[in-house]
Amino acid sequence: MLYLVSNEKISIHSFIGLILIYRVKSLLSKYLLLTLIVFCTLQTGCEDIDSSPNTNKYTYYDDISDITYLNSSFYTTNYDLSGNAGEQIDLIVYNIVDTETVMNNKFSLGLNGQGYLSITNDGNDLFLQSRSNYNIFKISNTGEIAYLSSDTLNTKWLPSGLTYNSSNDSLVFLYRNTEKNNQYRLREVSKLLSEQSKNDREFVLNGLDTTVYGALCIAYKEPNLYVLAFDGQEDVLITMDYSSLNLISNESVNDSTAVGIDIVNNSIYLSYRDRTISLFKEL
């Protein structure tokens, strides 16, 4: 009897043990399954985010950049601030009606991430240079890109302006030395960018901001070079003799939001961040 009772007790304990083990395994399985579902959900979500960049065009808050005058209109680009992928930069055409800046047209350039763009023209086509990544573009006045290229300089030379010299049909680039921030370099280069510069000069401009800004953009009308720059407090217009690069004048613009310059006939026009263009002074 004791033997049988003992066997009964062992059987009952074993049965209870098996039930407990089964319940624990069941709970662990449910926990592992839930964990796996959550992990897969998060992983899929991350993959969707990584593989789906925001390509929505968003230019509402963008400033405009440098300006150039062609076919009785001013051409400029928006300074892309969205951070989105896809087509974010437009070629924008403005007219001045009385004193109002009126948009006439715009054309998508199919670009993003170019930062501030200097711009000039040769009477037919437009030429742009990115301040942030050094790219140089030749485009039509309807935004068709003819080429994408770059200058041959070391990247210590920061793009700081672009204009056109009609006397020898060449592009004129201004650069600032980021290792010596009051040192500048003016280069004349063929429009095809296929030849070495035959006029490459270094010079010093004192009294300008030496952190981030300094010279921003340029315009040329014989015999002078005009440089729109920031002196650390406000924007200034520097006039230099083009041949000697001697300083002629340094005058306040009475603003700190000017971003572009061009000369129309004998008048200097400036563009501003708020998408306006206005006469600065007569020459």
Q: What's the order of all strands across the beta sheet hosting 235-241?
A: 215-221, 224-230, 235-241, 247-252
Task: Reply yes or no on domain 63-282 having CATH 3.10.20.30.
Answer: no
Q: What pLDDT is stored for residue 26 in this prediction?
A: 54
This model's pTM is above 0.75 = yes
Query: What is the per-residue pLDDT across 68-83, written as a single tens digit (0 to 9) for each?
Result: 999 999 999 999 988 8
**Domain map of the chain by residue range?**
1-52, 63-282
Confidence of residue 212 (pLDDT cuts 50, 70, 90): confident
- Which of 223, 216, 220 shows the shortest CA–CA distance to 271? 216
pLDDT at 23: 55
pLDDT tens-digit profile of 124-181?
A: 999 999 999 999 999 999 999 999 999 989 999 999 999 999 999 999 999 999 999 9
